[in-house]
Amino acid sequence: MTMSQDVASTSSVRCAVDIGSTIVKVARVDERGELQRQDFFQRDFALGIARQVESLLAGLGINAGDEEIAVCSSANGGLRVGIVCLTKHFSGAALRNQVLLAGANPVYVREFEEPGGDLRRVDILLVGGGIDCADADPVARRLEAFDPGQYNYGTLFFAANSYLAASFRSRFPAAVVIENPLGESLSSRVSSVFETVRRAYLDDLIYKEGVSELRGNLARGIRPTPEVVSRGFLRAVMHKSSFTIVGACLALDVGGATTDLHYTVELVREDSEVKPASGVSVARFVFTDLGIVASRDTLIMQLRGHAQLYEFLAAVLDHDVREIYRLLREGEYDPSAELLSYACLFLALDRFAKGRGPGLPIGNLGALSQIILTGGAVQNLDEAVVLRLTALLMPDGCSSPLIQVDRRYQIWVGGITWDEEPAPAG
């Protein structure tokens, strides 16, 4: 990769640490935020996060007390958020965008009137809708009919019309009331839900995974890894990093629990009913059921039932395609981690092309110039195989996109070393 002329000249970060579910990654960067060296270590669950990270840094000659060290974590697989709202296109879109921006995973977006609930377990159930105004009868009536018992959640958050907060709390005393993100005029207060969910995300990581035991520089400003990757993608799109973007682009971050799709908004089809938030250049969508470890069973189930399973296997495998196809259909085949990684990117691209996901726009794969694959699950994938898989989903007559595997984690490094505060992604 060549350095863009627009890259920020300096970075205060000299070392970056990513604490994952199975791997701890340590990167050294220069004064421009460019990667100099990185090392990977298996998580030592007996030793614990704090002692392991401090030991690793000491072994690498890094003094945690003297150097500027940035830390991010996805060790708990991400915070799961359910959204119940007035409308999916306004309050639902605003809430979902802020949840994504905070690095958490929106599992569903439902309107108050939708029949039944959703019993998928979420850490936070976020209720929102309407601007702040005293004349709130339509929203009030819908909130009065709201029954949180239809949902399986940990904590209930209220982020709707502030004039209705007191009555909501009187019905549900355990609910946490936060500032309405829509304000008085659909103003989309970025700090409202974003800050609340981000703190909850980090609390979830800290108290469940022992990150809170980190000391000194390591304990300050821990960030969610998905937020860091989103920043890195945005930085590349803005031509402020060493990773070159050549046109309409998407990045797929494939991990153990989720697959995150980051895309430039020009890839959204004009006839898509769902649109990213206005004024953003990139957006993100989380496939919470596509991952090679925590989501393995649901991933295999979806792959097994896909209409193009045989074509998928023929593109990935070089032998025994018919036999593996039969065994997989019958539930008697144990796919490798590599095959599951290809499945994550194939299913994610297929869903994006069809808009199959709550809040997911319909993507125009024919407009793609570039696909970037990042994350620990894609490091051993073959670009030629990815190109064959992409061809199965591309419209006829379209040029093939450039396929790049981010083997040096440049997207992550670009995000964690970026000192600027960009406009939020959708």
Task: Please write the tens of the pLDDT for every residue from 170-220.
Answer: 999 999 998 888 876 555 555 678 788 877 876 766 556 667 677 766 766
Three-state DSSP class for residue 308: coil
Instruction: Quote the CA–CA distance of 413 and 262 in Å, as a whole number.
Output: 16
26, 153: one domain: no
E strands along 174-258, which residues?
Answer: 176-177, 223-224, 249-254
Total domain count, the chain = 3
In whole angstroms, give the CA distance from residue 297 to residue 279.
38
Which DSSP letter does residue 363 get?
A: B
Residues 70, 12: Cα–Cα separation, whole Å: 10
Q: Note whether 276 and 393 are same-domain residues.
A: yes
Neighbours of 257 (CB within 10 A): 21
Question: What would the pLDDT profile of 291-305 be if each residue is shown by its tens digit?
Answer: 898 788 889 999 999
The secondary structure of 4-27 as a DSSP string is: PTTS-S--S-SEEEEE-SSEEEEE
- Rank 29-38, 217-226, 393-402 by mean pLDDT and report only the highest: 393-402
Same domain? 215 vs 124: no
Does 19 share its domain with 143?
no
Domain CATH number, residue 283: 3.30.420
Q: How far apart are CA 260 and CA 244, in angstroms?
A: 20
| Residue 72 scores a pLDDT above 70 | yes
Check if the beta carbon of residue 3 is closer than 8 Å to that of residue 414.
no
- From the DSSP assignment, how many helices (H) and strands (E) are in the chain? 12, 15
Which residue type does 7 have? V
Q: How sure is the predictor about 100, in pLDDT bands with cuts at 50, 70 and 90?
A: confident
What CATH number should be reported for the domain holding residue 39? Answer: 3.30.420.300
Give the chain's mean pLDDT.
85
Domain of 57? 15-76+210-223
**Is residue 415 in a domain?**
no
Amino acid identity of residue 230, one-letter, is S
d(CA 234, CA 315): 31
> Which amino acid would we find at residue 421?
E
Please tell me the predicted confidence (pLDDT) of residue 10: 61
Question: 25 and 44, same structural domain?
Answer: yes
- Number of C-alpha atoms within 13 angstroms, CB side, residue 323? 4
Evaluate if residue 425 carries a pLDDT over 50.
no
Tell whether 111 and 163 lie within a shared domain: yes
Tell me the pLDDT tens digit for each residue of 77-96: 667 899 998 888 778 888 88
> For the domain that residue 103 is a member of, what is the CATH number?
3.40.50
Q: How far apart are CA 85 and CA 110, in angstroms?
A: 6
